[in-house]
Amino acid sequence: MPPLDAAKVSTTLEPAVQEPPVNAVPLVDLSGQHAQIAEEVENGFAEVLDAGDFIGGKAVSAFEQEYAEFVGARHCVGTGNGTDALEMALRALRVGLGDEVIIPANTFIATAEAVVRAGARPVFVDVDGDALLIDPGRVDAALTERTRAVIPVDLYGQVAPFEQLPSSLGERGIVVVEDAAQSQGAVRHGRFAGRFGDVAATSFYPGKNLGGYGDAGAVVTDDDGLAESVRLLGSHGSPVKYEHVSFGFNSRLDTLQAVVLRAKLRRLAQWNVERRAAAQVYAELLAGVPDLRLPVALPGNDHVWHLYVVRVPNRDEVLRRLRAEGVGAAIHYPVPVHLTPAMAEFGQGAGQCPVTERAAAEILSLPIFPGITRQQQEQVAGVLLSALG
Ligand SMILES: Cc1ncc(COP(=O)(O)O)c(C=O)c1O
């Protein structure tokens, strides 16, 4: 097979020249985090290799317990990734064929994929114009006799306004699943992300605030029965090897990932402090710039800045300039989920979610990660300001 031609696989938003410019500031730099945990990870990996307990090893149950304690929940059940965690949460709640599940249009496609894979139909609602989180005021109008679940998403690092969802949901037998993939360590009105709704699903994809060195995820809940159902689902419906009591598949937290996640969890609070400090620096450097909208934290939220998302006119041109000058900016997400070809059959086309659609043309994620320096942020701000002219 001939080697891949980088120019052919690049998107139009990537710079034509692939050489990284000097002083590049990446969108995310995980090397500083790794340096802090390298020894612990090496020792932990050596223990797993010695014991040969690659599936369901000791580190998995230790991490599950530690993460449940961190969030303040009774149970954490590790999964292979966050998309499976969402799907298994829905399946454990018996959401499936013929059901409708309300989700925000501004999210990563995985939220919708999990719904479709569980057999249900995603119903997209628009977001609020400031925080770009699900607009709870629009949920009522999207409810039908078939609605069985709502999945608010804690996008960009802050918890969605769960308490503002219609109070009738419970009476109507509609369950609430928190998509907490982007909010590890975030707090809303004193409660940690992962404690909202009936059950939460999270992702430990490497770039997340708490990320593994590969795919990983978890379901978090206070409900003993639900936790048990998710564990069965992720392990071929098998409480004991070769006894299959229910339908299932294979989606468990990998032991080596658990080693990494244990080491990182011990530092998560400090890393989130560093993210908050970096967000504050951007807020100072970018204050009062015409044509630039800074991200908004909802009242009551302790934001953990998984992403720092500003809004600008001429976004694609600004993004080109940033990338050409070595700033690893990105878009989360360039196409609203209801408009992606993969979800076209479930959406109602352009105009269904105007706030999301407008935002998709303006949003721009700036580099943010624990350990980003003020000098790097000044470089980002400098290029951004000159691109805005
Ligand atoms: C909001 C959201 N939901 C779900 C997921 C799915 O997680 P994973 O990539 O681990 O399957 C992600 C992350 O990728 C996400 O950002």
Distance 179 CA to ligand 1 centre (A): 8
377 lines ligand 1 (CB under 6 A): no
Distance 288 CA to ligand 1 centre (A): 33
Q: Which atom of ligand 1 is nearest to the CA of 154?
A: 1
Distance 135 CA to ligand 1 centre (A): 20
- What are the backbone angles phi and psi of residue 331, rounded to the nearest 5°? -125, 125
Q: Is the pLDDT of residue 337 over 60?
A: yes
What residue's CA is closest to ligand 1, atom 7? Answer: 82
178 lines ligand 1 (CB under 6 A): no
Average pLDDT, the chain: 94
Q: Verify cis geometry, omega within 30 degrees of 0, for the bond prior to 242.
A: no
198-244 pLDDT per residue, tens: 999 999 999 999 999 999 999 999 999 999 999 999 999 999 999 99
Contact 308, 331 (CB under 8 A): no
Distance 110 CA to ligand 1 centre (A): 6
Distance 24 CA to ligand 1 centre (A): 27
- pLDDT at position 112: 98
267-305 pLDDT per residue, tens: 999 999 999 999 999 999 999 999 999 999 999 999 999
Q: Is the pLDDT of residue 5 over 50?
A: no
Choose the residue to mutate in 79, 81, 83, 356 for probing ligand 1, maximizing ligand atoms within 8 Å of C-beta.
Answer: 83
83 lines ligand 1 (CB under 6 A): yes
- pLDDT at position 1: 35
Q: Is the pLDDT of residue 15 over 70?
A: no
Cα–Cα distance, 108 to 299 (Å, whole number):
24
- Give a three-class secondary structure readout of 306-333: CCEEEECCCHHHHHHHHHHCCECCECCC
E strand residue ranges, 105-186? 121-125, 147-150, 175-179
Q: Is the pLDDT of residue 7 over 70?
A: no
User: What's the whole-model pTM score?
Assistant: 0.94
76-107 pLDDT per residue, tens: 999 999 999 999 999 999 999 999 999 999 99
Taking each helix axis as running N to C, give the angle between helix 255-285 and helix 58-71, from 0 to 180 degrees, rounded to the nearest 10. Answer: 30
217 lines ligand 1 (CB under 6 A): yes
- CA angle, residues 69, 226, 79, in degrees to nearest 5: 65
Distance 217 CA to ligand 1 centre (A): 9
- Comparing CA positions, the residue from 17, 23, 14 lying closest to residue 379 is 23
Q: Which atom of ligand 1 is nearest to the CA of 155?
A: 1
107 lines ligand 1 (CB under 6 A): yes
135-to-143, 165, 174, 181, 336 alpha-carbon distances in Å: 14, 9, 17, 19, 15
Q: Is the pLDDT of residue 9 over 80?
A: no
